[in-house]
Structure 1
Amino acid sequence: MLVVHHLNHSRSQRVLWLLEEMGLPYDIQRYERERSGLAPKSLREVHPLGKSPVLVDGKQVLAESGAILEYLVDRHGKGRFAPPPGTPERLRYTYWMHYAEGSAMPPLLMKLVFDRIETGPMPFFVKPIAKGISAKVKGMFIGPQIRTHLDFMEASLKDAPWFAGAAFSAADIQMSFPVEAAAARAGLDASRPRLMDFLARIRARPAYRRALERGGPYDLMS
């Protein structure tokens, strides 16, 4: 039996979604974030980094959402959820599977960190300085980077409805996290209609909704 070590409000929701798309049976081991927002230390008993998601398949213990999705597609996909090897669509698929965390997420995470600097507790005499530094970093670097990535993602959907091409794939599941994070915390709105349409279409998928029912709260980037 597949077991997903699932942290609320986290990337592990993508693993649940792919499992629901595949129709595979699985169990969930649930974890709740600590008051700091970090994963509980008990996750270190499953994987040394103490993060989620972690997938256990027999003796296999895998971390990193992208690696888990690729493993599930290769082992259990039966030719689904990835374009055929050697095709242009497969190259696009591989690119977006890695782009999601390697390029799209870093500026979004930086924005989250600097937003928290502005709102977090600190001595009153430090707050104006911290706010000023945070605003400058976001204005000069983080904001422009996020806009560049959103424009790039928007343009990539010009000629096909899904990130790897005409067919839905695991790359769309992997890309869902940065797109949803951008909608929740980084200004993604109707000015980028293709990305908003992508969001509407993934959220309408029955497997996506079943994964939310099983996974529980999913307030991105909170």
Structure 2
Amino acid sequence: MLEYSRGLRIVWLLEALGTPYEVVTYQRDAEMHAPPALKAIHPLGKSPVIVDGDLTLAESATILRYLHDAYGDGRFAPAKGSNAHALHEEWLDYVESSAMQPMIIALMDRLRGGVGATMTGMADAAIPRSLEYIADGVGTKPFLMGDTPMLADIQMTYLFAIAERGGVLADHPRAAAYWQRLQDHPGFRRAVEVAGPIMPPSA
């Protein structure tokens, strides 16, 4: 896995499943890009990526689903065929499909002094809507689907790490409280122990 990356999500799930695994860590370059060596594992050259026998998979949600189906015995998703399962699947895909780009724009805007008024304006409009949507989804529950983190909660971690680093959580206390619960969960803490922090140290 790439340091400071989405790969921490996969480590959290593997630790929770108790499935034997090996972590191969790749260092980012001076520009925080993935090294060329990752392309030897998968053509995209990105993290996370897993190799399980003769199967190689990229994309966080795909990997989480695969590991859960292969080794999870249904513990980290609602029962298939239920409305709750369909909603959970929507949350799992929402993170990287609709929610992530505005967060990335906000982070780049903060780190690099602006990415252009048009893109920043789009992010400024989308981020509050996204954070409130997630907070409404959690509601009065500790996590999205109830008392226990599911795959979708694990998937949320990198999104919220970026949101925090991008400075967009201050006006969204419910979303910030959810992020704090994720960080406080033993599964997240154990993943950090194994894989290292999800974000690089602040400058």
Letter in 2 for 1:58: G
1:205 to 2:200 alignment: no
Is 1:20–1:208's contact at 8 Å kept on the other side of the alignment?
A: no
| Cα-to-partner distance string for 1:136-180 (whole Å, 9 max, x where unaligned) | 336532211111111211221215332234542111001122122
- Please identify, of 76-85 and 149-158, the stretch whose mean Cα deviation from structure 2 is larger: 149-158
Is 2:107–2:163's contact at 8 Å kept on the other side of the alignment?
A: no
Match of 1:95 in 2: 90
Please list every run of 5 or more consecutive structure 2 residues that lacks an aligned counterpart in the other structure.
none
Question: What SS does the aligned partner of 1:19 have?
Answer: helix
| Cα-to-partner distance string for 1:188-221 (whole Å, 9 max, x where unaligned) | 03x4333222222222222211211111232169
Name which of 147, 150, 156 aligns with 1:169. Answer: 150
C-alpha spacing 1:25/1:83, structure 2 compared with 1 (3 Å): same
- Please identify, of 25-34 and 178-187, the stretch whose mean Cα deviation from structure 2 is larger: 178-187
Please list every run of 5 or more consecutive structure 1 residues that lacks an aligned counterpart in the other structure.
1-5, 119-130
Name which of 18, 40, 46 aligns with 1:45. Answer: 40
User: Which is strand-richer, 1 or 2?
Assistant: 1
Name which of 22, 28, 48 aligns with 1:27. Answer: 22
Name which of 180, 183, 200 aligns with 2:164. Answer: 183
Structure of higher CA gyration radius: 1
Q: What count of residue pairs does the alignment treat as equivalent?
A: 202
Report 1:1-222 matches (<5 A).
6-118=1-113, 134=116, 136-137=117-118, 140-189=121-170, 191-219=171-199
With normalisation by structure 1, the TM-score equals 0.83
Question: What SS does the aligned partner of 1:143 have?
Answer: helix
Letter in 2 for 1:35: A
Is 1:108–1:186's contact at 8 Å kept on the other side of the alignment?
A: no
| Cα-to-partner distance string for 1:90-141 (whole Å, 9 max, x where unaligned) | 01110011000001101112223444542xxxxxxxxxxxx6x73x336532
Q: CA RMSD in A?
A: 2.0
Letter in 2 for 1:14: R
Percent of aligned pairs sharing the same letter: 36
Is 1:184–1:221's contact at 8 Å kept on the other side of the alignment?
A: no
Is 2:161–2:199's contact at 8 Å kept on the other side of the alignment?
A: no
Letter in 2 for 1:157: V
C-alpha spacing 1:137/1:221, structure 2 compared with 1 (3 Å): farther
Is 1:90–1:164's contact at 8 Å kept on the other side of the alignment?
A: no
